[in-house]
């Protein structure tokens, strides 16, 4: 809600790394707030390791987007900003150099954070999804 970013770079995308990232989110979000994470359906996000972690952290709520949906457009927009303003402008001769550039961009952004905001309300999005589901349910296939 504030626009502050929490980011980490990992060499692999497994449930072990995802659980570490969840821990960083949990640590950085004030204790009195619930955490709602919108994410894709990657298998890494659904493993037993992650499920056990979630049971121990009931304030964290995972919301999986439909496959091929555009609900992650705001996150994709942020990655486009990172790419255009930081990665394309630099010369990265190592993975560490690239990771340092990403961290620097996150830190710079957090100096004056501005949240990305959805234009539509949750009700409008749910209504659109409902219309889509109804249209494919009555498609005759």
Of residues 41 and 53, more confidently modeled: 53
Judged by DSSP in three states, 37 sits in: strand
Compute how many other C-beta atoms are within 10 angstroms of the C-beta atom of residue 62. 15
Which pLDDT does position 135 carry in this prediction?
A: 83
Q: What percent of the chain has pLDDT over 70?
A: 91
Task: Return the residue matching tokens 């004030």.
Answer: 30
Give yes or no for residue 88 having a pLDDT over 60: yes
Q: What is the pLDDT of residue 2?
A: 79
Mean pLDDT of 71-85: 81
Does the pTM exceed 0.75?
no
Which of 30, 34, 38, 26 is closest to 74 using CA atoms?
Answer: 38
- Which whole-number Å values give the CA distances from 114 to 5, 105, 109, in the listed order? 10, 14, 8
pLDDT tens across 96-123, in order?
A: 999 999 999 999 998 998 887 777 777 8
Q: How far apart are CA 128 and CA 133, in angstroms?
A: 9
Coil, strand, or helix at residue 30? coil
Q: State in words which class domain 15-137 has.
A: alpha beta
Domain ranges of the chain: 15-137
């Amino acid at each position: 809600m504030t626009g502050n970013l929490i980011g980490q770079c990992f060499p692999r995308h497994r449930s072990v790394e995802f659980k570490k990232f969840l821990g960083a989110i949990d640590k950085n979000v004030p204790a009195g707030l619930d955490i709602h994470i919108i994410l894709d359906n990657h298998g890494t996000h659904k493993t037993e390791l992650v499920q056990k972690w979630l049971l121990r952290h009931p304030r964290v709520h995972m919301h999986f987007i439909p496959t091929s949906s555009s609900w992650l457009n705001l996150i994709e927009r942020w990655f486009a900003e990172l790419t255009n303003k930081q990665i394309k402008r630099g010369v990265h001769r190592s993975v560490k150099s690239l990771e340092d550039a990403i961290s620097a961009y996150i830190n710079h952004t957090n100096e004056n954070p501005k949240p990305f905001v959805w234009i539509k309300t949750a009700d409008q999005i749910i209504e659109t999804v409902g219309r889509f589901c109804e249209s494919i349910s009555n498609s005759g296939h």
